[in-house]
Amino acid sequence: MSQDDILDAALGLLDEGGQNAASIRAIAARVGVAPNAVYTYFPDKAAVVKALVERLLGRVDHGVFADRGQPWRQRLESLALELRALLTAHPGRVTMMIGGPMDGPHALALNERLLEILGDAGLEPTDAARAAYLVIVYVFGSIALEVADVATAGPLPPEAERVATRQSAFAATPVERFPRSAAAAGVAAGYICTEQYLWGLHRVLDGITGCTAPG
């Protein structure tokens, strides 16, 4: 047994049943050892989660947003889409990412790249740090809400299918009681789609750009 065996087991449990499914006891059972054997490698579940966060962030392809010859907004959009694709492919890991500490080498490398992009946008270091947090909150928050919209564990259904399901649900909104909500039902159905994700990201970036303006 190795650390990778433990992490592979934990990821499988996360994909199948979410974060609560990946207990030390369940991980040990998946690997085929006693729980004490897991503690040889990780002192507790928090340490497992931290290692999983690092492993996942290590899979982010920095090549998609590291080219400083490209416009900063294009690079940041590429990063946001990369993170969304990575996490929606394994929705059980989203809660882990939000709840786990992001202070390992891969997390710091990602933050460093984000700060670089925002610096290239013209932000001073303090504003760049605040903007980096804003972007992370938007990206992970949006992904978490998208994943939470589907109650079942495992991979998300195709986006078009999920939007269609939401359209059916929102179509039942009582017009007499909630006229504005009913009128907006078509838009609300698409809250979990890529178009909405990018629309919100662009508004965030518009606000970030305003940080460079006087006053």
Q: Determine the pLDDT at residue 152.
A: 64
Tens digits of residue pLDDT in 159-176: 999 999 999 999 999 999
CATH of domain 60-210: 1.10.357.10
Residue 153 and residue 190: Cα distance in Å, rounded?
21
Tens digits of residue pLDDT in 13-38: 888 877 778 899 999 999 999 999 99
Q: Which residue in 39, 28, 145 sits closest to 98, CA to CA?
A: 145
State the pLDDT confidence band at 137, using cuts at 50, 70 and 90. very high
Please compute the mean of the pLDDT values over residues 170-183 and round it to a whole number: 96
Q: Which residue in 185, 144, 194 sits closest to 166, CA to CA?
A: 185
Q: Residue 205 above 60 pLDDT?
A: yes
Question: What is the assigned CATH class of domain 3-43?
Answer: mainly alpha
Please compute the mean of the pLDDT values over residues 41-56 and round it to a whole number: 90
Domain locations in the chain as residue ranges: 3-43, 60-210
Asked whether this chain's domains 3-43 and 60-210 adopt the same fold, the reply is no
User: Buried b / exposed e across 58-79, counting CB within 10 Å, b at 16+?
Assistant: eebeeeebeeeeeebbebbbbb
Please compute the mean of the pLDDT values over residues 145-160 and round it to a whole number: 81
Tens digits of residue pLDDT in 106-128: 999 999 999 999 999 999 999 99
Please, what sign has the CA dihedral across residues 119, 121, 126, 131?
negative
Residue 54 and residue 104: Cα distance in Å, rounded?
6
